[in-house]
Structure 1
Amino acid sequence: MMQTLLCGAVAGALFAAVPAAAAVSQAEAAKLGDSLTPVGAEKAGNGDEIPAWTGGLTEAPAGYKGDGRYVNPFPDDKELFRIGQSNVDQYADNLTPGQIAMIRTYDDYFLPVYQTRRSGTYPEAVQQKTIENATKVDLVESGNGLKNYQTAIPFPIPNNGLEAIFNHITRYRGGSFTRNVAQVTPQPNGDFSPVKFTESFTERVALEDYDPAEDPNVMFYFKQAITAPSRLAGNVLLVHETINQVKEPRRAWLYNSGQRRVRRAPNVAYDGPGTAADGQRTSDNLDLYNGSPDKYNWKLKGKKELYIPYNSYRLASADLSYEDIIKPGHIDQSLARYELHRVWHVTATLKDEERHVYEVRDFYIDEDTWQIAVVDHYDGRGNLWRVAEAHAMQIYDADIPAYAFETLYDLLSGRYLVMGLTNEEDIPYEYGTERSSREYTPAALRRAGVR
């Protein structure tokens, strides 16, 4: 029973493929915190499976030790039913073509469905800044950047597809955090060798030496150091993500520990190869989508009710090993959790003059968090090629939506990638880490790149 739900505030503009005036009126913005949540979702439920939003999950369960291992706050929830090959047609209206293809391709692939819990929320300060952004932030003339933006969600009431995708790109991730994660690219038989990373992320406004006048076009800094296996350990990627990418594209550098050399890395963008991913993802597949949106025409197609991965705490459990999760063809779906949520449907179509391995990308973005939940990728011949899913969970001790991990399935090769595994890592997440601008300079890469 797929429903197309159009918010009255944007009904006249949902099908626009080019940027329109971005900031909304004071009257429209007044709906935020009233009929809409502070970040623009519909507060009301659907009278059936989707409940009303009542503030999200803001309290840690009794078993949480404050150690970055986010235990399941809903341990008594039971699986309601499964969507598999025998009943996929019954639920097709609430699935993406990619999800349907995965179910039909693998006999043992299914979606375990649980009750919907709208756990997503952000800190009060981020919610308030989002409300302020609604009447102030604009797209630059070409759409490839933002004006009057510093932090939080820029377009809680989006007018077009570009605004919706920028909400995902810029969403609040905790200001500053460090995480230790693994990436795997299993062979068709399920064999894999993990590549491990230590990653740090810091919004410019969260730097301990933040200066509004210094480097004002940078949105955030990202550093990714490989820690295993030994043949790759010590290689480091540094990214300065810019706000207005017409004014200045993303800055990226790579430190190669074998050569002990830092070099600019313009290919760390678009469909350049993902780090140590064995060809199983592009650079802009990380976080389901990142970087400049200038290669595509973007269309906001409306809202849908979709079964998406949500409250995926079991997949982050330290009781599981990577071998417990990784199976031939796909992860062990019995460990996953899907819920019915409203999502924004955004389609990106490659511009005639541009080149990219993905001709069309269909994005399904959770309305409560602006995190992308599912992406269907099509090749240049119009064939469904790759299917991405992000297994979301709420960081309940800091009011931050996040992912337990993300998957990218290749329907043509039978292989897949999982990025963000933490089950076997000693310190998976640390939020609120203090970072200075000095740590995100090219000169700092050599110091970080030690075997």
Structure 2
Amino acid sequence: MNMTKGLLRAGVLGLSMLASGVMAAVSESEAAKLGAALTPMGAEKAGNADNSIPAWSPMPKNAGAVDSKGFLANPYASEKPLFIITASNVEQYKDKLAPGQYAMFKRYPQSYRIPVYPGHRGATVPDSVLAAIKRNAVNARLVAGGNGLENFETAIPFPIPANGVEVIWNHITRYRGGTVKRLVTQATPQPNGSYSIVKFSDQFVFRDRMKDYDPKNPGNILFYFKQQVTAPARLAGGVLLVHETIDQVKEPRSAWVYNAGQRRVRRAPEVSYDGPGTASDGTRTSDNLDMYNGAPDRYDWKLVGKQEMYIASNSHKLDDTSLKYDDVIKAGHINQDLTRYELRRVWHVTATLKSGQRHIYAKRDFFIDEDTWQAAVIDHYDGRGQLWRVAEAHSVNYYDKQVPWYVIETLYDLQSGRYMALGMKNEEARAYEFDFNASSSDFTPNALRQEGVR
């Protein structure tokens, strides 16, 4: 039996275990596969039969130069596409595309394309995180019907997942550097391509990187998030603060907003599920940020299995500081000539809205990169069962810090012709800043008031 079939069998077994209420971790012998047949993060270490997917080889921290602003050089700048998928040849490659990707060719036959490059599987994280992941494999468990975790450390509780919700928890908890400050932009173009830029100053701090974190009493917090709008002037000064809980059914996410015009802080319970995304002009929901975030309780999750698919990877070209935002943002979709896709293995998980629950997305199809546990593509269906929005993430390895993450998240509305692009920083003063010091006192409503004064 090959490994993919074995993992699929494990997934079926895990589904039956979940249905019966048994939330078991894997055995020590199973966990021993991490770093052997599996990568330390749980992907299949070997390539595929014809080597169109290479074996995993961790990317060195000195894979390229880092400029004075922290921007990374593209290690693969000299490579050319192996081939380009267009509307005229898409049928030949349909079996390795998500339905949403295929639909983009039908929606934009003249301009949408997927350039496919040689594969490089180099994603990794620091050794201390890999050690925590291995401990998670035998210790971490689902609780509250899959809505929470126990015995969880740092990142990726289920490197050898047994069911769909475990795969989703790996995406939600994946390593993003521990602490990070970033200046990023968001565009929500009209169908004709006209747009304006919204700028954000973000801070992420995961709980175990707080100076005052107590590992003996970890609590229910996963991370703290603070986001200030810095442009345009009509929106500048507004600040969002989130205390992201692990079990959001037991203890809902706490969120506050500072309104610069009113100079006051108020609770923001709408910052969850299908509440409107910040300054997004209705083009995304709150749980579309980071491709998907928040509580999994409104959906039934099914692990379909693993498959090979073309996903946007090693997207350093899109992060190039020689580009202007006008070079990236085009009518209908971003400039696909600047993108890079590689053949990868992905986990396919479906989320179907539970009876009695509400959300504008009745179904979601997740395609999650096995190497990073990041969602690469998510297809969103409306209440009529029609494909509505297609989310696609363009990822890189921040190799100097050993952090896999996105450079741009896109969310395409197939019905309206509009889209959202979030994460661009080509014209900004600096790249992501990892490893800054923070304490929980920096993420209180009082601190929010101070942050929001302009």
TM-score by length of 1: 0.96
SS of 1:186 mapped into structure 2: coil
Distance in 2 (alpha carbons) for counterparts of 1:11 and 1:145: 19
The code of the aligned residue for 1:170 comes to T
Distance in 2 (alpha carbons) for counterparts of 1:405 and 1:228: 19
Aligned residue in 1 for 2:38: 36
Distance in 1 (alpha carbons) for counterparts of 2:89 and 2:238: 47
* 2:212 counterpart of 1:190: no
Give the CA deviation at 1:245.
Answer: 2.2
Distance in 1 (alpha carbons) for counterparts of 2:193 and 2:119: 31
The code of the aligned residue for 1:407 comes to T
| Total equivalences in the alignment | 448
Q: Which range moves more in the overlay, 336-345 or 210-219?
A: 210-219
Give the CA deviation at 1:221.
Answer: 0.3
Give the CA deviation at 1:380.
Answer: 0.3
Distance in 1 (alpha carbons) for counterparts of 2:24 and 2:431: 38
Q: Is the Cα–Cα contact under 8 Å of residues 393 and 408 in structure 2 kept in the other structure?
A: yes
* 2:97 counterpart of 1:95: yes
Q: Deviations over 1:143-185 (max 9, x none)?
A: 1110111312100011111100000000111010100000000
Q: Which range moves more in the overlay, 338-347 or 5-14?
A: 5-14
SS of 1:209 mapped into structure 2: coil
Aligned residue in 2 for 1:288: 291
Change (3 A) 1:93 1:64: same
Q: Which of 180, 202, 207 pairs up with 1:204?
A: 207
Q: Is the Cα–Cα contact under 8 Å of residues 11 and 161 in structure 2 kept in the other structure?
A: no
Q: Is the Cα–Cα contact under 8 Å of residues 136 and 148 in structure 1 kept in the other structure?
A: yes
Give the CA deviation at 1:63.
Answer: 3.2
Q: Which range moves more in the overlay, 34-43 or 12-21?
A: 12-21
Q: Is the Cα–Cα contact under 8 Å of residues 359 and 382 in structure 1 kept in the other structure?
A: yes
Give the CA deviation at 1:211.
Answer: 2.9
Q: Is the Cα–Cα contact under 8 Å of residues 132 and 153 in structure 2 kept in the other structure?
A: no
Q: Deviations over 1:192-251 (max 9, x none)?
A: 111000000001110122234667211110000000011111100001111222321111
Q: How does 1:294-309 map to 2 (within 5 A)?
A: 294-309=297-312
Aligned residue in 2 for 1:414: 417
Q: Deviations over 1:309-351 (max 9, x none)?
A: 0000000110000000000000110000000000000000000
* 2:403 counterpart of 1:395: no
* 2:178 counterpart of 1:175: yes
Change (3 A) 1:12 1:354: closer
Aligned residue in 2 for 1:24: 26
Q: Which has the higher helix share?
A: 2
Distance in 2 (alpha carbons) for counterparts of 1:228 and 1:182: 9
Aligned residue in 1 for 2:314: 311
SS of 2:344 mapped into structure 1: strand
* 2:284 counterpart of 1:249: no
Q: Which range moves more in the overlay, 382-391 or 65-74?
A: 65-74
Give the CA deviation at 1:120.
Answer: 1.1
Q: Which range moves more in the overlay, 362-371 or 139-148?
A: 139-148
Distance in 1 (alpha carbons) for counterparts of 2:216 and 2:446: 22
Q: Is the Cα–Cα contact under 8 Å of residues 186 and 424 in structure 2 kept in the other structure?
A: yes
Give the CA deviation at 1:53.
Answer: 0.8
SS of 1:375 mapped into structure 2: strand
Aligned residue in 1 for 2:219: 216
Q: Is the Cα–Cα contact under 8 Å of residues 14 and 302 in structure 1 kept in the other structure?
A: no
Change (3 A) 1:6 1:328: farther
Distance in 2 (alpha carbons) for counterparts of 1:41 and 1:368: 5
The code of the aligned residue for 2:250 comes to K
Aligned residue in 2 for 1:83: 85
Q: What 5-or-longer segments of structure 1 have no aligned partner?
A: none
Q: Which of 441, 445, 451 pairs up with 1:442?
A: 445
The code of the aligned residue for 1:175 comes to G
Distance in 2 (alpha carbons) for counterparts of 1:324 and 1:408: 18
Percent identity at matched positions?
A: 58
Aligned residue in 2 for 1:268: 271
Give the CA deviation at 1:14.
Answer: 6.1
Aligned residue in 2 for 1:238: 241
Aligned residue in 2 for 1:7: 7
Q: Is the Cα–Cα contact under 8 Å of residues 186 and 328 in structure 1 kept in the other structure?
A: yes
Q: Deviations over 1:280-332 (max 9, x none)?
A: 00000000000000000000110010000000000011000000000000011
Give the CA deviation at 1:9.
Answer: 6.8
Distance in 2 (alpha carbons) for counterparts of 1:328 and 1:343: 29
Give the CA deviation at 1:383.
Answer: 0.2
Distance in 1 (alpha carbons) for counterparts of 2:113 and 2:24: 40
TM-score by length of 2: 0.96
Q: Is the Cα–Cα contact under 8 Å of residues 61 and 401 in structure 2 kept in the other structure?
A: no
The Cα RMSD (Å) is 1.6
The code of the aligned residue for 2:270 comes to N
Q: Is the Cα–Cα contact under 8 Å of residues 220 and 242 in structure 1 kept in the other structure?
A: yes
Q: Is the Cα–Cα contact under 8 Å of residues 14 and 301 in structure 1 kept in the other structure?
A: no
Q: Is the Cα–Cα contact under 8 Å of residues 41 and 133 in structure 2 kept in the other structure?
A: yes
Distance in 2 (alpha carbons) for counterparts of 1:66 and 1:44: 37
SS of 1:71 mapped into structure 2: coil
Give the CA deviation at 1:119.
Answer: 1.9
Give the CA deviation at 1:21.
Answer: 2.2
* 2:435 counterpart of 1:432: yes
Give the CA deviation at 1:86.
Answer: 1.0
